[in-house]
């Protein structure tokens, strides 16, 4: 098993990269979440990898965080779910949002992910709920949501049709970007941008 690969980023596309490791180019498939955070071509990068072997193919999948790799492998353990769907999940929502959606049985969020229908989402919740266990919110996120402006911003996003997990996560990210003294109007505007992707 190849746990990680460290090398020079030789090529990148939204779904795959090529890394030069000692003159050997490794093709690695990545989710959008990893692609968006990659450094410039020619820079050093370390990707946590999963070597997926099937009868007809052997592919490498790479992630900037070990959490993403963990979720990818967890999803792969579900019968009938392949690597393409596992990548699609990480490309569509954050690790935290996926964990919350599974823990809360949030079918609406899960079925919005490309490649996941109602049956797949139900199987995911059934098979992963115990593995994911109780969700521990980041302490900073708890503090943000306890603040009046954070709660008001979440309430505003909920009234606009966002799911509770998506609204909470967007406000959390917006407050990290803008700072704890951001006005509620700025928080809502930034959160909406994040939700729009």
pLDDT tens-place string over residues 79-93: 888 899 999 999 999
- What one-character DSSP code corresponds to residue 66? H
Distance CA(35)–CA(41), nearest Å, equals: 12
What does the pLDDT read at residue 197?
65
**Under-50 pLDDT residues of the chain:** 134-140, 143
Query: CB of 17 within 8 A of CB of 9?
Result: yes
């Amino acid at each position: 098993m190849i746990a990680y690969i460290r090398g020079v980023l030789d090529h990148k596309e939204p779904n795959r990269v090529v890394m030069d490791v000692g003159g050997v180019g490794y093709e690695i498939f990545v989710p959008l979440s990893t692609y968006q955070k990659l450094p410039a071509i020619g820079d050093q990068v370390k990707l946590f990898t999963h070597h997926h072997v099937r009868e007809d193919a052997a592919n490498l999948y790479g992630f900037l965080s070990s959490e993403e790799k963990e979720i990818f492998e967890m999803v792969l353990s579900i019968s009938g779910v392949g690597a393409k769907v596992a990548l699609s999940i990480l490309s569509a929502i954050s690790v935290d949002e996926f964990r919350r959606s599974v823990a809360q049985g949030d079918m609406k969020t899960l079925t919005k992910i490309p490649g996941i229908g109602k049956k797949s989402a139900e199987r995911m919740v059934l098979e992963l709920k115990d593995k994911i266990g109780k969700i521990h919110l980041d302490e900073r996120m708890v503090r943000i949501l306890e603040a009046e402006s954070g709660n008001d911003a979440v309430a505003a996003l909920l009234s606009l049709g966002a799911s509770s997990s998506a609204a909470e996560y967007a406000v959390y990210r917006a407050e990290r970007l803008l700072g704890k003294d951001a006005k509620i109007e700025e928080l809502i505007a930034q959160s909406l941008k994040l939700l729009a992707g």
